[in-house]
Amino acid sequence: MTAWRAGLLLLCLWFLIDYWLLSRRLAPREMTRSSVSCWVLMVANVLGVTLASWAAFRHWAPDMESQALPALFLMLTGIGLRFASIFQLGRFHTSKLAVLPGQIVVASGLYRWIRHPSYLGVLILLAGFGLTLGSWTGVLILFGFSIPAYAFRIQQEERMLVAYFGQIYREYQARTARLIPLIY
More confident residue, 159 or 30: 159
CA distances from 74 to 2, 15, 36, 126, 164 (A): 16, 16, 29, 9, 35
CA distances from 114 to 30, 66, 163, 183 (A): 28, 32, 20, 11
Nearest-angstrom CA–CA distance, 124 and 75: 6
More confident residue, 30 or 147: 147
Nearest-angstrom CA–CA distance, 87 and 152: 23
Asked whether the beta carbons of 111 and 103 are under 8 A apart, the reply is no
Handedness of CA 27, 87, 102, 109 (dihedral sign): negative
Q: What is the pLDDT of residue 32?
A: 43
Average pLDDT over residues 85-98: 85
Q: What is the pTM of this model?
A: 0.84
Q: Where in 9-151 does DSSP place strands (E)?
A: none
**How does pLDDT run across 18-75, given as a tens digit for each residue?**
777 665 555 555 444 457 777 788 888 888 888 888 877 776 555 555 677 888 899 9
What residue ranges do the domains of the chain occupy?
A: 2-22+34-175
110-129 burial: b if 16+ Cβ within 10 Å, else e: bbeebbbbbbbbbbbbbbbb
What's the CATH code, domain 2-22+34-175?
1.20.120.1630
Q: What is the pLDDT of residue 25?
A: 56
Lowest mean pLDDT among 16-20, 62-66, 101-105, 149-153: 62-66
**How does pLDDT run across 116-126, given as a tens digit for each residue?**
999 999 999 99
Handedness of CA 122, 117, 84, 86 (dihedral sign): negative
pLDDT band at 14 (very low <50, low <70, confident <90, very high): confident
Asked whether the beta carbons of 127 and 48 are under 8 A apart, the reply is no
CA atoms within 13 A on the CB side of 36: 3
Per-chain mean pLDDT for the chain: 83
pLDDT band at 109 (very low <50, low <70, confident <90, very high): very high
Among candidates 127, 128, 118, 146, which has minimal Cα distance to 6? Answer: 128
